[in-house]
Structure 1
């Protein structure tokens, strides 16, 4: 039989409505932050000259939130956001309560194939910039725990080539401490710019 009695720690929260009031206000501020981040990413797009396909931007930005990503609240911005049955071109920015912010570039299908040669050649700059590559077969985990990601800088070039070529998708991501709150828009835009620039850089 399950025990429905509260622990002292649980009771301290349940008996204090201010805790939830503050939590809800904090999530509202994260939602506002994500809106400002989307504007900053769109401004970079407008100035960059990156060769976006029209369809990659047609789905528009999406900000979503929830309470139960591994038992904790989360907020996600998807921009740019293109998901079809076979292809993906998406940049996901995430806030995960008590853990970190993160940003992830997700390429799949024909989109991934289009940029594969550039990804293979981008091993060194992506490693230097601190990016990590996703390892599991299921692409829908978002956290950096349980071996989901491996730092590109911790692998050799041959391992990188094998990872880039072995799947129909690739996810490149970077976490940021919550203490970067005031700088997070700049941090994520810089990461976005680095990733997209590496997709189009011309190498001999």
Structure 2
């Protein structure tokens, strides 16, 4: 039978509203930060020559939040985002309570196949920039725990090419320390620019 008795630590906070109010206030500020980030990413797009397909931008940005990604609150921005039944072109920025921000380029289906050569050719650039690649089979895990991601520079070029071709999707990502709050927007836009230039310039 499951115990309902409180631990001393649980008992010390259950009668207080202070922590919950602080947590809710912090999440609202993360939501506001994600809104500013979307504006910064859109501004970058307006000044770049990246050849977006029209359908990739028609879905617009989306900010969402929840309480239970592996037991902890989260906030997520998808911009730009294109999700169909089998194809994905998405740049996802996620805040995970107590852990980090992360920026992830997720390509799947025909979109991933379209960029497969550019991905292969960008091995050196991605490795030097400190990006990691998702190596599991389920594309909907978002954290860097449990061996989900490995640094690209730990693979040889041949191993990287095998990873690029292995699944119908690929996710390339980078985490950012929560404590660097004031630099998050700049850091994420920089990662976004690196990834778009990689796709646009065929890894040059």
String of CA shifts for 1:27-58, please: whole Å, max 9, x gaps: 00000000000000000011011000000000
Deviation of 1:86 after TM superposition, in Å, equals 1.3
Give the drift of 1:203: 6.1
Unpaired segments of 5 or more residues in structure 1? none
CA distance in 1, matches of 2:12, 2:101: 28
Corresponding position of 1:83? 83
Normalization by structure 2: what TM-score?
0.98
Q: Which residue of 2 aligns with 1:176?
A: 176
Structure-2 separation of matches of 1:146 and 1:101: 17
Q: Distance in 2 between matches of 1:84 and 1:58?
A: 12
Aligned to 1:132: 132
Tell me the distance in 1 between the aligned counterparts of 2:27 and 2:203.
43
TM-score, normalised by the number of residues in structure 1: 0.98
Structure-2 separation of matches of 1:5 and 1:17? 20
Q: Distance in 2 between matches of 1:9 and 1:184?
A: 33
> Which residue pairs with 1:152 in the alignment?
152
**Structure 1 equivalent of residue 189 of structure 2:** 189
Deviations 1:129-181 (A, max 9, x none): 11000111110000000010110011111110100011111000000010111
Match of 1:10 in 2: 10
> The residue matched to 1:179 in structure 2 has which SS?
coil
Q: 1:122 to 1:172 in 2, by over 3 A?
A: same
1:170-202 deviation per Cα after TM superposition (whole angstroms, max 9, x unaligned): 000000010111100000000000001000115
Gapped regions of structure 2 (runs ≥ 5): none
Matched, 1:39 2:67: no
Superposed CA deviations along residues 3-39 of structure 1, whole A, max 9, x for unmatched, are: 1111011112212210000000000000000000000
C-alpha root-mean-square deviation of aligned residues, in Å?
Answer: 1.0
Alpha-carbon displacement from aligned partner over 1:45-96 (angstroms, at most 9, x marks no partner) = 1101100000000011100000000000000000001000111000000000
Aligned length: 204
CA pair 136-65 structure 1, distance change in 2 beyond 3 A: same
The answer to whether the Cα contact below 8 Å between 2:117 and 2:202 also exists between their aligned partners in 1 is no
In structure 1, distance between residues paired with 2:202 and 2:118 = 8
Query: Helix, strand or coil: the match of 1:138?
Result: coil
